[in-house]
Amino acid sequence: MKLKNKVAIITGSAKGIGKGCALVFAKEGAKVVIVDLDEKSGEQTVKEISERNGTSIFVKTDLTKVADVQSMISTVINTYGQIDIMFNNAGYHISKNVEVTSEDEWDFILNTNLKSVFLCSKYSIPHLRKTKGCIINMSSMVGLIGQSNAGAYSASKGGIVALTKGMSLDFAKDGIRVNCICPGWVNTPLVEDWFSQQKDPQKAKEYIYSVHPLNRIASSEEIGNAAAFLASSEASFITGVALPVDGAVSLGY
Ligand SMILES: NC(=O)c1ccc[n+]([C@@H]2O[C@H](COP(=O)([O-])OP(=O)(O)OC[C@H]3O[C@@H](n4cnc5c(N)ncnc54)[C@H](O)[C@@H]3O)[C@@H](O)[C@H]2O)c1
């Protein structure tokens, strides 16, 4: 087990990629804190982890609100006594270019995707310093290459890459490693929904698969495996990295 007895907070882990990562982290022996706005799905994730003999709790949190983040961190410390891994995964996507993005939409995306990383990092760092823990942030291939109709989303994901590198320098002296993951497309219920809403779902799926040189998209588990590696002692000399987990789509298509 790569993460035996480590305490890992994973944001946005009620559903999608975060849930897949939570299942991998629990399998690797971590005590997983499921942090999300969605209470029903969060409790369901806790149930599934427990059915697999894993350990987890759900803490309902709005990651854009400072008081909520502070309270979530206190709950984790009161429950488990320490934090080893702060995995900032939560994020939201809107498909719009800058000209048609409203100020509210811009603020919503930047607050959800980037401010949440700032807040969770800020309030977990004092605890990570004690455990020589690590931070993992969820960026995207869009943080590395351009994508049309993704103005606010691109800014948030590029911001995460830059913030990751900066924080890795600031906190290396404390033994805290900070890395981010840049997935290509990942197979989640939302992505399946998106395929089904296209004029020709099969054709859309084949096209998206084909732009990834490995000719498919990732599973949530594959993202979880990369995150578990970065969080483990096997990655003890890796910090400040933006790791593509994308079947080489970010190399160009
Ligand atoms: N799905 C993909 O293909 C893909 C590709 C690259 C990167 N990503 C990134 O991976 C991450 C997860 O994406 P996903 O596809 O699993 O999305 P998702 O919508 O399935 O899951 C995101 C979760 O975050 C939660 N969340 C959103 N705002 C929140 C807030 N303010 N407070 C607490 N919880 C909140 C949601 O309730 C949801 O459970 C995101 O950062 C996304 O940008 C996804």
- State the distance from the centre of ligand 1 to the C-alpha of 40, rounded, in angstroms: 16
Amino acid at 62: D
| Domain range annotation of the chain | 7-184+219-251
Q: Say if ligand 1 is within 6 A of residue 94 CB.
A: no
- State the distance from the centre of ligand 1 to the C-alpha of 158, rounded, in angstroms: 16
Q: How many CB atoms sit inside 10 A of residue 42's CB?
A: 26
Q: Say if ligand 1 is within 6 A of residue 191 CB.
A: yes
> Is pLDDT above 80 for 253?
no
What are the φ and ψ backbone dihedral angles of 175, each rounded to 5 degrees? 80, 15
Reference 209, options 242, 244, 248, 182; nearest CA is 248
Q: How many CB atoms sit inside 10 A of residue 214's CB?
A: 12
Instruction: Provide the whole-model pTM.
Output: 0.98
Residue with tokens 């427990």: 50
State the Cα–Cα distance between residues 159 and 156, nearest whole angstrom. 5
> Is residue 69 within 8 Å of residue 120, measured between CB atoms?
yes
Q: Which residues have a catalytic role annotated?
A: 153
Q: What is the mean pLDDT of the chain?
A: 97
State the Cα–Cα distance between residues 194 and 58, nearest whole angstrom. 28
For 134-185, the pLDDT digits (tens) are 999 999 999 999 999 999 999 999 999 999 999 999 999 999 999 999 999 9
Helix (H) or strand (E) holding 43: helix 39-51
State the Cα–Cα distance between residues 108 and 80, nearest whole angstrom. 32
pLDDT at 232: 98
Query: What ligand 1 atom has the least distance to the C-alpha of 218?
Result: 3
**Check whether domain 7-184+219-251 has CATH 3.40.50.720, yes or no:** yes
Q: Say if ligand 1 is within 6 A of residue 15 CB.
A: yes
State the Cα–Cα distance between residues 248 and 253, nearest whole angstrom. 9
Residue nearest atom 25 in ligand 1 by C-alpha distance: 12
- Band of residue 252 on the pLDDT scale cut at 50, 70, 90: confident
**Which residues in 166-194 are b (16+ Cβ under 10 Å) and which e?**
ebbeebeeeebbbbbbbbbbbbbeebeeb
- Band of residue 126 on the pLDDT scale cut at 50, 70, 90: very high
For 8-51, the pLDDT digits (tens) are 999 999 999 999 999 999 999 999 999 999 999 999 999 999 99
State the Cα–Cα distance between residues 154 and 247, nearest whole angstrom. 20
Residue with tokens 């096209």: 207
Q: Say if ligand 1 is within 6 A of residue 14 CB.
A: yes
For 207-245, the pLDDT digits (tens) are 999 999 999 999 999 999 999 999 999 999 999 999 999
- State the distance from the centre of ligand 1 to the C-alpha of 238, rounded, in angstroms: 25
Q: Say if ligand 1 is within 6 A of residue 192 CB.
A: no
- State the distance from the centre of ligand 1 to the C-alpha of 129, rounded, in angstroms: 27
> Does 190 or 134 have the greater pLDDT score?
134
